[in-house]
Amino acid sequence: MLIQTDVLIIGSGAAGLTAALELADKLNVLIISKETLVDSSTWYAQGGIAAVLAEEDTTESHIKDTLIAGDGLCDEKAVRFCIENGKSAIDWLINSGVTFTKNDATDDFHLTQEGGHSHRRIIHAADATGKEVSDSLAAKVLKNKKIKILENHLAVDLIIKEKKCRGAYVFDKKKEKVLSISAGATVLATGGASKVYLYTSNPDGASGDGIALAWRAGCELSNMEFNQFHPTCLYHPDAKSFLISEALRGEGAKLKNYKGNQFMERYDSRKELAPRDIVSRSIDAEMKKTGNDNVFLDISHKDTDEIKKAFPTIFKKCLEFGFDITKDPIPVVPAAHYTCGGVKTDLDGQTNIKNLYAIGETSCTGLHGANRMASNSLLECVVFAKSSARSIKLNLDSKIIDLPDWDSSKVIRAGENIVIAHNWDATRRLMWDYVGVVRSNNRLEMAKEKIKLIFEEVENFYKNFEISSDFIELRNLVLVARIIIESAIKRKESRGLHYTVDYPELSEQAIPSSLSKDNMEF
């Protein structure tokens, strides 16, 4: 079955929804979403969006903070472009129906401060900013007649003809069949790959789909070794992937060990407000030093009513697990949170393949460098989605061509799902144990050998059996895991989120990493 559209958007987070709304004034848009329209990492984002909104703040200050957090690896052009467009991005969100929290007394927007920021510049919707953004944009998308949505669909592979992206093969999860979608432009907006790790703050869908699709199509990837671990995920056997926002530390929460002692001052003068890579490594070091599986985040010294008002979602969720954050410290542990690398693009989201764009966490514009600064991610989604939409409207390839149907003639029905379940679990445990917060040559080389065996088994399965949605995600996850390991091995220094005991110092030159099928054949 062939479907035709002007623009195909793969993914329905803040980046995908923004791009769709910006394109739909002139073009027909088709969004595919793996689950429901709002099921994305955006929906789970708590803290807020960084932008220069206060009188005492400046664009140059935000740029400087971002460059410092990126540890020498940011592309200053990308940083400047994103931050200079921050205020207009916030205005666009407000005009699109997003409601941000205001100060009771003055009726202006309430701004918080997070790690790495020198000013209060985080605009937010209580502690559920992502949900507010996602719901508001989705409501607007659903009303737009030029935007069509296919829920419960996921991309299998991109269709490349004559060195141009012509669309994608897409799996219908309910009918269990593959569709061919022809598009003048295709946008990858699938989020990151943090589900490659055993412990993560991300939803199940963060399996690196867009990155894997782009790699197989021949795109260049950059900085894939830089995986951000959020310092504070709720540590409880039943608390799946629940993040404790950095905004708590911005409002004065303290990190403590099992003895109840604060420890961050021993690791960094900025204490709890140091960038995430430093806080995560500090927690990791403290846990290894004490032999405990977690540390604690304590905000109980603040006013009870203020805590409940500022963090209603976190208060309610922690209470479900027996922790009253107005009285009790919260058990926390670092967890994989954000993929700072991705598909290399220019400032319009254009990849090295014509008609193929990547935006949001899937992409690597150079904005984040070696470590994303808090709350720059949703800003990136909106700013670069808008710039990519402008580029697509100016350069749309409207030529209609015949696309080959999906060929499943040589495969047989899949038999045992245990192969999928085992390799899914083995990959995530491997990445957590060998490619985590602190790395070493020995562990990385062992990971390389182990992931190669898993990769070959998965590819053999792909060639011989019918695909399923679980298998499509596994195939992407294993490929991205292998790319992360290869990228980590190539970086012979410690910079930002990549810390290795064998090369603890910075190299004199800060050079972004680059991998593609052309320079690394799997």
369: left (phi over 0), alpha (psi -120 to 50) or beta: left
DSSP track, 162-179: TTEEEEEEEEETTTTEEE
Amino acid identity of residue 434, one-letter, is Y
Task: Judge whether 344 and 220 are in contact, CB under 8 Å.
Answer: yes
Task: Judge whether 475 and 465 are in contact, CB under 8 Å.
Answer: no
Dihedral pair phi/psi, residue 84, rounded to 5°: -65, -20
Q: Is 392 helix (H, G, I), strand (E, B) or coil?
A: helix
Q: How many CB atoms are closer than 10 A to CB 519?
A: 8
Task: Judge whether 51 and 138 are in contact, CB under 8 Å.
Answer: no
| Among candidate residues 242, 246, 266, 247, the one with its CA nearest the CA of residue 256 | 266
Residue 276 is among the residues annotated as catalytic for this protein: yes
Q: Which of 276, 372, 439, 495 is catalytic?
A: 276
| Among candidate residues 259, 262, 300, 264, the one with its CA nearest the CA of residue 280 | 264
Both tokens of 308, joined, read 């409940």
Q: How many CB atoms are closer than 10 A to CB 68?
A: 16
CA distance 215 to 229: 24
Return the DSSP state at 265.
G
Evaluated on CA atoms 98, 103, 108, 114, the torsion sign reads negative
CA distance 81 to 243: 29
| Among candidate residues 161, 78, 24, the one with its CA nearest the CA of residue 349 | 78
Q: How many CB atoms are closer than 10 A to CB 441?
A: 14
Task: Judge whether 128 and 316 are in contact, CB under 8 Å.
Answer: no
Residues forming the active site: 276
